[in-house]
Structure 1
Amino acid sequence: MIHQPNEQQRAGRVRWKRQPTPYERFMEEEGIPVVRGIGLNDVRELPLSPWTRLGGRGSYIQLDGTEGVWGMYVVEIPPRSELRPERHVYEEVYFVVEGRGSTEVWKESASRRQVFEWQAGSLFSVPVNCWHRLVNAGSSPVLVLAATGAPALMNIVNSTRFIFDNPFDFTDRYDDSLGYFTPKTELEPHPLSERAILRSNMIPDIVNCELPVDNHRSPGYKWFEPFMAGNHFFGGGGQQLPFIAEHQTGRYSKAHAHASGAVLVCLKGKGYTCTWPTELGTRPWEAGKGHLVKRQDYVPGGMVTAAPGGGNWFHQHFGVGKEAFRVLAIAGGYWWVKGKPGDDIVSNNADLEEGGRSIPYAQEDPRVRAEFKRALAEAGVEFRMPE
C-alpha cells in the first residue's frame, strides 16, 4: 500500500541503492570475473575463468567512467583451439596482446568465409552482426583485448535475443569483398580536423607501425585515427577515437579535460597517468590538495581511464621508459554534440586561453615536472622537454 504523506512530508525515499543495469546483469550471469577501477598495470595479470558462452577463459573490464556506455573484456584462447562463433548487433574492436592466429568472418547466407591472420600488436574490427570466430592454430595461448559497444545497446533494448539472434544484414558495413581485410597504409586528412586518419579494417602491428607527427599533446607527438569496419559507435569521425599515439622519450602530455569514457592502453614503453577534478584547479599540489589526485602506473598491456570523474577531471600522461611511450586510446558512445549544426567547435587540445581544455606547460603545477624529472632520472632517461 502506498503511504500518503501529510503536507510536511515527502512520499517515498530520497536515497536508495543503485541497481545493476541490464548489461551489468549480463556480465554477472556470464560467470567470469568483472574488474573495475581507474586502470590496470597489465591485463596479463587479470584473473581469468572458463567462459561458457564464448569459449576460452576471460574476464570483463569495466573501468570508472565507462559504465553504461562501452566495455571491455580480455579472452585467452588455448593453443590449437578456437572461440565459439558469434554475431551481435553492437560494434567490437580487437587488440591482440599476445600470440598469433586468424579470424573467420561470414554472413548468414554466404557460401564462403573470409579469413585473415593476426599477431601480437594487431588491431582489427569485425563488421557489425557478421558471424565471426577467432582461431589459435599455434602452440602458445593467445590473449585478446576487446572493446565492445554492448553496454549501451543492452541497456537500451534489454534483450539478448535482439542482440545475438538478429537476422538484419548491415550491407552498408560489409559487402563481402575480397579485399575487405587487406591492410591499408595510406593516410588521409580528417574531413573536419584535418588530422591524420587511416581507413583500414585490419592493422597488422600498431605497436611498431609508422605514425605521422601531430604535435597536439607534446613536442614531437605522433598520432593517427583508424576508421574501421564502417564503425559509428567506435570512431567514424565524430569523436576522433580510437587513435594510436606516441610521445617521444623524455617528454610528456599536457594536462587536459574531456568527457569520461576514453581509456588509454599502453602499447610500448611504460608510464603513469595523473587525474584530478577540475575544481581543484590547474595546480592541485600547490593548492595543498595533491592527496586528491589519483595516479595509475602501467606497462605494455596496462591501461587507465582518462577521466574517471566525468568531463570535469583533468588528466595527464607520462612515459618514463627508455623507448617512446605509445598508446591506443579507445572510447565509444553516442554522437552527442553541443549547439546546432554550423556552430564552431574548439578542440579540447587547444589551450585554456584558446577556448580549449588543455593546461599550457607554463601554467601547470611545478610538482608535475619535478616528479617527471625524478622518474626519468630513476629510469636513466634524459629529460627532453622545452624549458
Structure 2
Amino acid sequence: MWETHSQKLVHPNARLLQLVNALWNQYQRDHVFRNTCSWLREMAQGIELWRSCEKENAVFIEPRDKKRMGCVFVNGNFVPALSSLPAGILVAPLREARALFQKNSELDLLEEVHSCLRGEEGTVIYIPAGQNVKPSLAMRYHYVCDEVNNYKKFGVPCIVFVLGKGASATIEMETEALPKNFHLFGQTLCFLEEDAELVLTIKPFPKGVERVIWANRVAIEQKGACAIVQEMYAMKGWFRNSFALKGESAHGESLVKVIGGGQLGVYNTVHHDAQATSSRQNIRSILDDGCFTFEGGIHISPKGSLSNAYQKHDTLLLNNRASVTTFPRLEILTDDVKASHGATVGSLNSTLLTYLCSRGFSLADAKQTLQKSFLTLDIEKNYFPKLKEQGLCECIM
C-alpha cells in the first residue's frame, strides 16, 4: 500500500522554549531525564535543525497480517486503507473529537510541550458502550522520512482511547519501523467510563530509535479497570505512567519488565480519588549493563478511604556494570486504607542454577529459564471479569 510522508522544519519559538525550560527545571536532578530528553532543549534553543516527520510523499507499506484487526499509523497519522476495525468502533482526528473525552484541566508541563510540538494532530479511537472487542486490536506504527539530509528527525504521535460504559478491549501497540537515529516523543491517553475494561500492552521499540519519551495517562470511572503493560529492551528512554482512579472501585495496574541496559527511567503516579479504589504496580528488571531508575508514587486523597495500593520493584543484576535505583513515594491523606511498597535487588539463584544443570540444562539454558520465570507477570484477572470470560487476559507477559 502506498502512503505518504513529509518533514516539517521546526522553528523554535518563545512558548516552546519557556515550556521546555520549565520542564527541564522540574526534572533537572534526574540524570536519566537529562540524558534522554536533552534533545528537546537543543530543539527549543535552536542549537541544531530539527524536522518532524509528517504525511505527504509516497512510501510503500507492506501489510504484515491482513487478518489482524487494528490500525496502522504512518508518522503518527491513521491510515484507513491499511486498517481494519470491528463494526461500531469509531476513529476520528483529535481536533474533531474533543467532545468524546474530558481533557485534563490541570497544568502538566510534559503534555504542554507535547501539545506545542504536535498542535492538534492525533487520533481518537472510541469503543461504544457495551461493546466487548474480541480478539485483541493491534496498533502498528511506522515512521519514514528522508535520510539524505543532515537534519535531526523526530515524531510526536498522540493516540486517545475512549471506552464507553461497560466496554472492554485488549490493545497492543507496536512500533515496527523507524529511521536511524530517530527521536520519539509519544503520548497515550485512556478514558474509561463506568465498568469499562482495558488492557494496553506496549511492545518493545525496535533498533534505530535514538531516544524515546513516552507518557501514558489513564482516567478510570466507577468500577472500571485498566492495565498498562510495558516491555523494554536496552535503549535510552524516559517513560511516565499516570493513573487517576476517579470512580468508586476503580482499578489501575502498571506492569513493566526491563531487559538489558542502556539508560531507562519509568515514573509512575497513581491517584486514588474515590472510595474502595485499588492499584498495583509490579516492575521487574534484569540488567547486564547501564542503569534503570524506577520512581513510583501512590497518592490517596481524603476521598480515597478503603483503597488498596500495592507497589513492588524486583531487580536481577547480572554483573557490576549495571545499576538500579528505586524511589517509592507514599502520600496518604485518609484513614482505613492499605498501601505497601517494596524493592529487592539480587542475582540469579546459584542453587537453582546448579539444580537445573544437574537435570540436563546447559548453564546458558538454565540462566535463560530462570530469567524467563522471573519476568513472568500476570494482570489481576478478577478486576477484568469481561476480558477474563473471553480469555483475553491469560498470561499477558
Query: TM-score, normalized by length of structure 2?
Result: 0.27
Structure holding more helix per residue: 2
Which gives a bigger RCO, structure 1 or 2 (Cα 8 Å, sep 6+)? Answer: 1
Structure holding more strand per residue: 2
Query: TM-score, normalized by length of structure 1?
Result: 0.27
